[in-house]
Amino acid sequence: MAAPSSEAVAGVDLPKLERGKGEKCVEDTQFMRRNHMDLLKHQRDETMRKGIRTTRHSLKRCVECHASEKTGSVAASKEDFCAACHSYASVKLDCWDCHATRPGKKSAASPHVPSQVNGGGQ
């Protein structure tokens, strides 16, 4: 199991997180802390509205890399990668309303799929 990482910002300790399974993240850690939500929204729009599937900033890839060795999830426990940071920042974590929190698992909910992948309608 990888060693947890922790830093202090303005005298407040950040959550202790397990390191991802890869050699390094697809982007700089500080950049990801501030911008991951925008990257995921952009990825969502490209996939759902334009039918373009890439992996660099995909939620699936994030989950595969950051799922806990202990729980196998990014949000099953308050110490898991996504849950810990979102709790620390008091931000609602609603990705998992539709998406799986564990690698290789199907999501519990089935979101509406537009009839036309590239246009989503007329």
Residue 73 · residue 37 · CB < 8 Å: no
Q: Which pTM does this prediction carry?
A: 0.71
Q: Report pLDDT digits (tens) over 37-72.
A: 999 999 999 999 999 999 999 999 999 999 999 999
Q: At a CB cut-off of 8 Å and minimum separation 6, what does 18 contact? A: 1, 2, 4, 66, 68, 69, 81
Give the tens place of pLDDT for each residue, 79-92: 999 999 999 999 99
Structural domain spans, the chain: 14-97
- CA 112, 89, 87, 67 torsion-angle sign: positive
Burial of 82 (0-12, 13-18, 19+ CB in 10 A): buried
Higher pLDDT, 29 or 119: 29
